[in-house]
Amino acid sequence: MQKWGPRRPMVLGCTITGLGIFLNAFTHLLTAQYKVVATIGFTFFGIGLGLYATPSADAALTSVPQEKAGAASGIYRMTSALGAAIGIAISAAIFTGLSMEQVTFVEGFFRGRTDNISIRYAAIIALAFNLFVTMLAIISILLTVPRGKPGPKDERA
């Protein structure tokens, strides 16, 4: 981050997180296969979030005057928690709504048990929503976070 600034690690973190989400959406596999793919997926998910978190906080707080750093930190944490809660709520709503429906048009796609196709399909769609939000985050980073390292603060500001 000191060499490239926060933008590159944030995009890399989102990309790795997106890969983890993508791997977790392979609910059409047999249970034994899915356990392996999901373990790898959750590993990528955690690594990606770890790569994203520090540069994100750094990018949000380095441009704030020192006397306002405490308030800015609180606002950053609050918006981060609120965004996570909203994302979880939307994902859960998508999953719950779709898992209640009887899905028959994708039966040939799923391997193994067929009595839980609705739940497996709902998981794919909910995770696809998460992947979409991750792509929006990457676009947002590319549009708003400046390239390179941040310069020294202007103390007169």
CA dist 124 and 91 (Å) reads 11
pTM: 0.81
Residue 4 phi/psi, 5-degree rounding, is -110, -15
Higher pLDDT, 79 or 147: 79
| pLDDT of 31 | 84
The number of helices, as runs of H, and strands, as runs of E, in the chain is 4, 0
The residue whose two tokens read 């980073």 is: 141
| pLDDT exceeds cutoff 90 at 30 | no
**Band of pLDDT at residue 107, cut at 50, 70 and 90:** low
| pLDDT of 121 | 86
Please name the residues in contact with 147: beta carbons below 8 A apart, sequence gap of 6 or more: 5, 7
148: left (phi over 0), alpha (psi -120 to 50) or beta: left
Q: What are 40-79's pLDDT values in tens digits?
A: 999 999 999 999 988 888 888 887 888 888 888 899 889 9
What mean pLDDT is reported for the chain? 86
